[in-house]
């Protein structure tokens, strides 16, 4: 089995278009699922400091036997670690926990209104310049905050991750992301299983001999 459906290019990196999200997996379940996902053909692993499973994601990668160079790894910085200095140390900790030397993509998980972007974005830039990650980006930023981050950054922002599925209209933020040449990474693409219960999606899937998950992922890819 393979889930390879190509890549999307942004800010000089190629992001596999289908990824394996690891929330809310913990402990051995997480390590085992990561190993099985890589065996099935996934080549993009998504984790976060806030998921408390970076160690297990790293172990699953190591146990899979798949070369590090063949796997795209994304993690996200906790909103309480966005101060200059705290941010950099948190990324060093993530690398240690994952057992790797460099991330492929590093995102700010959530904006923190108590920490100004004027402090956070330069620190994020520094992490990229220091070679701890190949690319940087955002997650859960509004259009206004995306615009502010874009004005502050001196390094290209490669992507923004937002919740995106058929029950949530994200056309405005998607357009803002696209206008800046960034990739949109969808989380909860199957609406936490909700798409399997939707009569319209099921009818479309039945008509094409596909599952509701396959139809929904194809719809997302076509966005």
Q: Which listed residue (51, 72, 141, 164) is catalytic?
A: 51
Q: Residue 172 is inside which H or E element, if any?
A: helix 171-179
Locus of tokens 């278009």? 17
Q: Which residues contact 200 (CB under 8 A, 6 or more apart)?
A: none
Closest alpha carbon to 148 in 117, 185, 169: 117
Alpha-carbon distance of 146 to 138, in angstroms, equals: 8
> 161, 91, 162, 80: which is closest to 113 by C-alpha?
80
**Annotated catalytic residue 51:** yes
- Can you tell me the distance from the alpha carbon of 21 to that of 48, in angstroms, rounded to the nearest whole number? 10
Active-site positions read 51
């Amino acid at each position: 089995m393979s889930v390879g459906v190509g890549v999307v290019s942004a800010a000089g990196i190629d992001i596999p278009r289908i990824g394996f999200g690891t929330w809310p997996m913990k402990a051995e379940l997480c390590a085992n699922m990561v190993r099985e996902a890589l065996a099935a053909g996934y080549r993009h692993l998504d984790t976060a400091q806030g998921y408390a499973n970076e160690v297990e994601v790293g172990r699953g990668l190591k146990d899979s036997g798949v070369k590090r160079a063949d796997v795209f790894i994304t993690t996200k910085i906790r909103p309480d670690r966005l101060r200059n200095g705290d941010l950099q140390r948190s990324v060093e900790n993530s690398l240690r926990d994952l057992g790797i030397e460099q991330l492929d993509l590093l995102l700010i998980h959530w904006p923190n209104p108590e920490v100004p972007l004027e402090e956070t974005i330069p620190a994020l830039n520094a992490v990229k310049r220091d070679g701890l990650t190949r690319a940087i980006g955002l997650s859960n930023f509004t259009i206004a905050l995306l615009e502010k981050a874009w004005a502050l950054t001196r390094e290209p922002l490669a992507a923004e991750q937002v919740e995106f599925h058929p029950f949530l209209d994200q056309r405005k933020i998607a357009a803002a992301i696209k206008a800046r040449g960034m990739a949109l990474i969808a989380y909860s693409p199957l609406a936490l299983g909700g798409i399997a219960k939707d009569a319209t999606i099921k009818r479309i899937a039945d008509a094409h001999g596909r599952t509701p998950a396959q139809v929904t992922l194809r719809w997302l890819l076509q966005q």
